[in-house]
Structure 1
Amino acid sequence: MSKKSLSKSLIYLISANIMSVMISGVILLIFPKIFSIAEFGMWQFYMLLNMYFSYAAFGLADGVYVRYSEKQNFDKLKYIGFHFWLIMILDIFLIIGLILNTDISKVKIMMLASISCILVAPKSIIVYHLQSMGKTTETSMYIIIEKLLFVFLLSIIYMTNISVTISNIIYADLLSKLVTIVCLVIKNPKNFTFKFNNNFDLFKEIIENFKTGIPLVLIGTSTLFIIGIFRFAIEKKWGIESFSKASIMINFSSFLMIFISSISLIFFPLLRNININSISYRYNKISKIVFFLMLLVLLIYYPIYMLVQYLLPNYSDGLIFLPILLIITILDGKIIILNTNLLKVLRKEKKIFIYNVYLILLTISIYLIILYFISEVFYVFILMMIVILIKYLLLEYEVRKILGYQKILVNIFFDEFLYIILILSLMYFTDSIINSLTLFVFVICIYSLINKGVIRDLKYFKDNR
């Protein structure tokens, strides 16, 4: 790919992501003012189901993306069409099972989310395939078309006599997804057809793509799954209004995670290009830099706090959860940027996968505990933070053990957790938001002075490539 093509692809990709975040942000500010807390909760429940259903390709799309982008597997691209229809059939069976076991009050939302699943999950395999072929500009255009069409349909609903209801907004979302997949079919018809043969090659390919893709999906989405399970627990025990107040704060932190994920794309090649023998020496410095960046991200707490207080007063009860969510963002941000990337560089993906499986099983166990023993939503967020903290400690311990560090847990505690404890104290126990902000900036300045040599070393990473 030429530099010009690469630049064009990056511009489209960044534009598509910025547009998605901006539209989601505007919705997060406008919808709570239009709808009641319960109605907005149903929209967020629909979006939560959408998030889970977007991974209902069962790892096949990720397996195809990784395996078929390799030159030696180009001849297997003929199987793309079969994978598309297989995912759609599997999703239909999954959806029927879910609807039959859904509470009657949520059947309509579940059915609408299920339609979205049928439109989104199979499409992912075609989008991944196009990306593996270097057609990032084309896939970004589909995202832009879908988002612009959704905004256009919302405008029509608002300006005409059509009633502004959650159902009509979901219909607009589904129509924009349908138009996108129709455009994909028209533009790439060969990817939706296949010739069935009687040998076992096709079935071997499906099994190989499952084996490759499922661990990748779990590695990339484990935190979303963990937080999602806690959100379902809140909705199940405390109802849609508590779910709505909790979810709006989770969505604010999710925007930060999108930004952090984009940073991780920069750090992976940086880590990969460092000489393997110098990683141990460099790791501690990079770790401090990443943590410093995460501290800066925490400053977003203050504008969010004031925004919710003045624009969304009905949701101000949820602000008590925000500091915990931002600490989760710090921990998971470091996991995404540094721990996961470094373990991939060291070819330890299996370790990441095993830890994530254990943590998801732990979260499911905690889900049952919440339903029967937890009396306040606040404690659910504490448990959520503890699970992400365990994940962070496991991966950080694994990395430092591989790199030969001594007194690992002591180092982790003094490197970061003293600051995290201080931050939580500032956010919860300071008598005013101005005092809290002043002290918070002071902590960042002290951290910068203590670690100024480390932060200055950022420009020297290229020396050990």
Structure 2
Amino acid sequence: MDVAKLTSNLKTALIAQGIAFALSLMTSFIVPKLLGITEFGYWQLFLLYSSYVGFFHFGINDGVYLIHGGETREELDNGSIKSQFVLGIAGQSTIAVLIAAYCLLVVPDLDRVFVLIACCIFLIINNAAGFLGFVFQAINETKVFSHSLMLEKCSFLVELVFLVVLQVDVFQLYILGYVLSRFVALGYCLFKARTILSGDFIGIRLALTELFTSIKVGIKLTLSNVASMLIIGFGRFLIEGTWGIDSFGEVSFALSIVNFFIVFMSQLSMVLFPALRQSSKEELEKAFGILANLLNVLLPISFIAYYPICYLLSIWLPQYTQSFIYLAILLPLCIYNTKMDIQGTTYSKVLREEKLLLRTNIISVVSAILLGIIAAVFLRSIEAVVISMLLAVQFRAVFLETHFATKCKCNRSLQTISLLVISYLFIAIALVFGTITGIPLVLVLLAFYYVVNRKSLAEVFAWIKERIATK
């Protein structure tokens, strides 16, 4: 494993996500101040719908990523890549046009029609940029992918600042800005991939064969990703359909607070894949132990942030005080989602266990759907719906962590059990106690956790000390 290149790629990815972090702060804390609950709800509805447009490449992007992972730019078959890119975008454009026509004819709510049409346009742009982004990641040019993200986030940040300064309270303009920023990323990716896309078209029959091969390889991972998103997404659809756009906006606001951290951490997963793909069995086992220790030691610290966040938001956005209840449940969800991205998903791809990942995600999403329906229909409780999301996310993270810990000969059962215990104790403390009593109790809870896991804590400090010494 090339540690120097991994470190360089990680630094670039972290800079990109630093920009994304600043953008997320604005979209999470300033945009809802301007839009109001209903308008913010439609903005969040667009973000929810647009997060599923990746399904419509039907595994092409993931297939190219898995098939060509570990190759260099010189080793790529440019003709095959170009042909799959052209055919894939043509097919997805056709699907987008059909969906848009259906929405115009059938959907009565004009605001919802706008959201859906914008998603159709976003589908084409996003999946084209995503295809090229996966190619860059596969050939370990993650810096190029990170730079495209920087451009995308910076362009949207500029647009957002402009809208905020003018105090624009029309959600449609925010959506247009979001779509335009993704188009900027696509333009950059097309420029950086110009030598790859300059290859000769290989002919329709061979191109279709290559395309269906990529679909066959990648569809399991694509379905896994969609199922993964539906674990949280179905609950949000359920809340919007049962309690309306305002309640959906309140839950989405709480999710937006934790989501930028989840997205930030997922960049580590992106950088790790090509590095781990080139690693030996011994290096994979060692890396898993290090990752498990780092995540289990560092992630619970986020519990301390709950009360300060709630206090500041109660001053800035008092209309969203109901969201603080959901945030208490979503913080543990954030921890387990992060563990899943970095450990479960990454090692599933590296060890080519996409079938296991798909089965795990399907079981999790079915559980989330059943529990969510019970919570919405019988319990009539939004809090119960959010807890159903947490349970499903925890199941898949714990299951895959245990599976790969066994394969990597790395026993982490004490960490797993103790983290589950303090997660639910934190939720209980946050929902029952106010700031004055809650903060000391959370600190005691974390102290107990670190005493129980003192061996892992010592290993983390030793690893950090070793990293510093080698520089």
Where on the TM-score scale, by shorter chain, does this alignment land: which range? 0.7 to 0.9
Per the TM alignment, residue 369 of structure 1 is displaced from its structure 2 partner at its CA by 4.6
- What's the CA shift for 1:329? 1.8
- Cα distance between partner residues in 1 of 2:419 and 2:198: 53
Aligned to 1:295, which of 283, 292, 300?
300
Answer with 323-332 or 181-190: which moved more: 181-190
Task: For 2:126, give the aligned amino acid.
Answer: V
Distance in 1 (alpha carbons) for counterparts of 2:431 and 2:174: 37
Alignment map for 1:365-444 (pairs within 5 Å): 365-366=370-371, 368-369=373-374, 372-399=377-404, 414-430=417-433, 432-444=434-446
Specify the code of the residue in structure 2 equivalent to 1:24: S
Separation in structure 2 between the aligned mates of residue 339 and residue 202 of structure 1, nearest angstrom: 33
Worse-superposed segment, 347-356 or 192-201: 192-201
Pair 1:53 & 2:24 matched:
no
Residue of structure 1 equivalent to 2:32: 32
1:351 aligns with 2:356: yes
> Match of 2:322, SS?
helix
Count of aligned residue pairs for this structure pair: 456
Q: Which letter does structure 1 place at the counterpart of 2:340?
A: I
Candidates 223, 245, 262, aligned match of 2:228: 223
Counterpart residue number, 1:275: 282
Q: Deviations over 1:260-298 (max 9, x none)?
A: 334556877689667389779x95x97465323221122
Secondary structure of residue in 2 paired with 1:200: helix
Please list, as runs of the form range in 1=range in 2, the aligned pairs for 1:10-409 lying within 5 A after superposition: 10-69=10-69, 70=71, 74=77, 76-79=80-83, 80-97=85-102, 102=107, 104-105=109-110, 106-133=112-139, 135-157=141-163, 164-182=169-187, 184-185=189-190, 188=193, 200-220=205-225, 222-264=227-269, 275=282, 287=292, 290-343=295-348, 347-366=352-371, 368-369=373-374, 372-399=377-404
Instruction: Identify which range, 100-109 or 294-303, moves more after superposition.
Output: 100-109
**Alpha-carbon distance between aligned partners in 2 of 1:394 and 1:4, rounded to the nearest angstrom:** 32
1:141 & 1:227 partners in 2: Cα distance?
Answer: 29
Matched-pair contact (CA < 8 Å) for 2:303–2:426: no
Counterpart contact for 1:87–1:122, Cα < 8 Å: no
Counterparts of 2:123 and 2:396 in 1: how far apart (Å)? 29
Aligned partners of 1:85 and 1:122 also within 8 Å:
no
Compared CA separation, residues 301 and 100, structure 1 to 2 (3 A): farther
Q: Give the AA of the match of 1:168.
A: L
Say if 1:96 and 1:213 are closer, same or farther in 2 by CA, change over 3 A: farther
Q: Which letter does structure 2 place at the counterpart of 1:419?
A: I
Distance 1:310 1:9, change over 3 A: same
Partner Cα separation in structure 1 for residue 328 and residue 239 of structure 2 = 18
Report if the CA contact (8 A) 1:81-1:190 is conserved. Answer: no
**Amino acid corresponding to residue 28 of structure 1 in structure 2:** S
Mapped partners of 2:308, 2:130: distance in 1 = 35
Q: Deviations over 1:367-404 (max 9, x none)?
A: 55556434121111122122223323433453466578
1:153 CA displacement: 3.2
- Alpha-carbon shift at residue 73 of structure 1 (Å): 5.2
- The letter of the residue matching 1:77 is I
The answer as to whether partners of 2:303 and 2:442 remain within 8 angstroms in 1 is no
Q: CA deviation at 1:41?
A: 0.8
Counterparts in 2 of 1:152 and 1:296: CA distance versus 1, 3 Å: closer
Match of 2:362, as an amino acid? V
Change in Cα spacing, 1:453 to 1:26, as seen in structure 2 (3 Å) is same
Displacement of 1:219 in angstroms is 4.0
Structure 2 residue ranges without an equivalent (≥5): 467-471
Are 2:456 and 1:454 equivalent residues in the alignment? yes
Q: Distance in 2 between matches of 1:245 and 1:122?
A: 32
C-alpha contact (below 8 Å) 2:239/2:247 kept by paired residues: yes
Amino acid at match of 1:41: G
Distance 1:7 1:289 in 2: 16
Measured in 1, the distance between the counterparts of 2:58 and 2:292 equals: 33
Structure 2 CA distance, aligned partners of 1:277 and 1:197?
Answer: 37
Taking only aligned residues, the RMSD between alpha carbons, in angstroms, comes to 3.8
Q: Secondary structure at the match of 2:77?
A: helix
Q: Deviations over 1:111-141 (max 9, x none)?
A: 1222222221222112322444554444433
* Distance across 2 between alignment mates of 1:412 and 1:185: 45
Percent identical among aligned pairs is: 23
Of stretches 317-326 and 177-186 in structure 1, the one that deviates more from structure 2 is: 177-186
Q: Identify which range, 2-11 or 78-87, moves more after superposition.
A: 2-11
Q: Secondary structure of the residue that 1:299 maps to in structure 2?
A: helix
CA–CA separation in structure 2 for the residues paired with 1:208 and 1:319 = 47
Unaligned runs of 5+ in 1: none
Give the stretch that moved more between structures: 8-17 or 23-32.
8-17
Question: Secondary structure at 1:36's aligned position in 2?
Answer: helix
- 8 Å CA contact 2:9–2:142 kept in 1: the answer is yes
TM-score, normalized by length of structure 1? 0.83
